[in-house]
Chains A and B, each alone.
Chain A
Amino acid sequence: MRNNLNYLDSPKVALGGLSKFDYAKPVETRYFSFGEPPAELTLQSGEKLGPVTLAYETYGRLNSQKSNAVLICHALSGDAHAAGHHAGERKAGWWDNMIGPGRAFDTNHYFVICSNVIGGCKGSTGPASLDPATGKPYGLSFPAITIRDMVEAQRRLIDFFGIKKLLCVAGGSMGGMQTLQWTVSYPERVRSAIPIATTARHSPMQIAFNEVIRQSIIADPAWRDGRYYEEGQPDRGLAIARMIGHITFMSETSMEEKFSRNRTRDSQGIPFAPEFEVGGYLHYRGNQFVKRFDANSYLYITRALDYFDLSGDRLLAAPRTRDIRFLVISFSSDWLYPSSQSHDIVRQLKRGQADVTYCELNSTYGHDAFLLETEGETTLIGNFLKNSYERI
């Protein structure tokens, strides 16, 4: 089969039309369950988990050959709602500027799937879910999960759709790790992979940040060893955890541009209330975050990140991985997942003589760039995907 697509000859034109587009129908989250005992999901730790539910959304249509499926993997605090609008909601999905008709992941041509990771708290089974054995939330009795386990669960969802081979797996940050893990766990089921702003190995610096992030949750007395579901979650600890995260998502330049040393208006007599806008921003993001994210999920998922290590040629352990086309993207100002880590990925792929394209996009946004630098990403991803599809 040879698919002819000419829609990306002029990406600028395609981009220009974006704002006019309106989703005719609201998107909705669906749920897929598997792993009813005794057929539970066996985790990397050897523990079994089941039944497992995955929240997922899809955009576009799966073609009759089931050859146009793209799996989008989300980052640490993301969810299945990657694009479009839920009924009655104004806020679009987290990568809406990249997924849709005429966009990089063009839903006129591709069938896009995004699911919430296991261990998450946006509809997929995680520590806040009810343990069927006790009828209460798992809390810390939820087994340790890894990036490989997340991919294992996604694979069941792909099986459920009857998709033998994904056209592409793509994602930024933790989504990029899942993307790399897919190419190792199931190389025969991936045609192309787009790991963005990510690493093959969580570094000591990244682990250090996550350690402080976890300890800020644990140090909140409201955490109660993870058994807080009746009393309410450790808001302070989780908010501080997220504040730390947001510092690492920005860059010195982006903070200077966004806040400089601007002062907040009024401290209202609260001692040590934030006096600078940058502090106010972090408080705001922290306080918003606790409304939508489970503290235990944050602990479990940050630990999954820390466990991640595909260094030392583990990326190409399976010979079939060499058949996959890779597009690796990093951002010049990202110091959380710096370009040097993408270089390490590229180096491994070069050593294995895999088909790899790499681009460092110039940006001042820091790690957040993977959500914001959509013009460069659209050109690269749109053309790469189009070419991968034409090669089928």
Chain B
Amino acid sequence: MNEYELVTDVPPDYRIIGGMIHSASRVLDLGCGEGGLLAFLNRSRSIRGQGIELNEKAVHECVKKGLSVCHGDIESGLLEYPDRSFDYVILNQSLQEVRRADALLTDALRVGRQVIVGFPNFAWIGSRCRLFFQGRSPVTAVLPHRWYDSPNVRFFSINDFRDFCIRKRIGILAAYYLRKQRTITCLPNLLAELALFLLSADNTNS
């Protein structure tokens, strides 16, 4: 166990992503926000990181943390990068905010050797209950926004994402499922709030 895994204030998704990534690798974080994940990976994995973030204030926070970040839209920010210019491209909690999610994933798999996608599972039992019993759009810890102010434009489940990967011949190298601080192994599409996939363009590994 690495020392960073003992730090309790590190969010569980950060720890899982940290575990997926090799030391000293080149990492591109799409929608990096205030740079919490990149800063964590810098500390724990000595990565060479680069972020892309749309929010100006968040860009300032990243620069404060000493990170390299480009202010802009992730949907158009990948074009310039040569093939395989990163070891990992991360889309943690940002894919659901992207309109052309399929095109972005395709480009991410071109730019990175591997792609890490973290997303809220729309089919989590809590969401299902709210929809089924209350007849209302889910508002949960991982989907905290209401229908009218949500940045999310794509709502998908773990099963949806698996189907997508099969159809697009994307290799799933690993998958982790989370409910609060704990990992879930049983019935993830029903019981997990968050999912993290490690993907590769080469589907022979799956």
Binds A, one of B8-16, B61-69, B118-126, B168-176: B61-69
**Are B80 and A347 touching (Cβ within 8 A)?**
yes
Size class of B's contact patch? 20 to 34
In the assembled complex, the CB of A64 is this many whole angstroms from the nearest CB of chain B, namely: 25
Q: At the interface, yes or no: A90 with Cβ under 8 Å from chain B? A: no
Question: Are the C-beta atoms of A380 and B70 separated by less than 8 Å?
Answer: no
B71 touches A359 (CB 8 A): yes
Q: Does the CB pair A357–B82 fall under 8 Å?
A: no
Pair B69/A357 contact, Cβ less than 8 Å: yes
Q: Are B56 and A380 in contact (CB under 8 A)?
A: no
Cβ of B36 under 8 Å from chain A:
no
Does A325 lie at the interface of the complex (its beta carbon under 8 Å from any beta carbon of B)?
yes
Given contacts A353-B82, A353-B85, contact A360 B63 (CB under 8 A): no
A384 within 8 A of B: yes
Q: Is the CB of A351 within 8 A of B80?
A: yes
Cα separation A346 to B59 with both chains bound (whole Å): 15
Tell me which residues across on chain A come within 8 A of B147, comparing CB atoms.
Answer: none
Question: Can you name the residue of chain B whose Cβ is closest to the Cβ of A352?
Answer: B82
| Chain B residues in 8 Å Cβ range of A348 | 80
Which of B56, B59, B71, B82 is A351 in contact with, Cβ under 8 Å? B82
Q: Is the interface of A mostly helix, strand, loop or mixed?
A: helix
Q: How many A-B residue pairs lie within 8 Å, measured between CB atoms?
A: 57
Docked complex Cα distance between A327 and B63 (Å): 10
- B47-79 CB contact bits vs A (8 Å, 1 = yes)? 010100000100110111011111110000001
| B59, A359: Cβ atoms closer than 8 Å | yes
B residues within 8 A CB of A327? 63
B60 in contact with A357 (CB, 8 Å): no
Residues in A with CB closer than 8 Å to B68 are: 325, 355-357
Cα(A343)–Cα(B85), bound, Å = 19
Contacts of A347 in B (CB 8 A): 79-80
Q: How far is the CA of A359 from the CA of B53 in the complex (A)?
A: 10
Residues B85 and A357 in contact, CB atoms below 8 Å apart: no
B80 touches A380 (CB 8 A): no
User: Which are the 10 A-B pairs with shortest beta-carbon distances?
Assistant: A387-B66, A350-B80, A347-B80, A359-B71, A358-B70, A383-B64, A383-B63, A357-B68, A359-B59, A351-B80
- Report which A residues bind B (CB closer than 8 A): 325, 327, 343, 346-348, 350-351, 353, 355-362, 376, 379-380, 383-384, 387, 390
Binding site for A on B (CB under 8 A): 48, 50, 56, 59-60, 62-64, 66-72, 79-82, 85
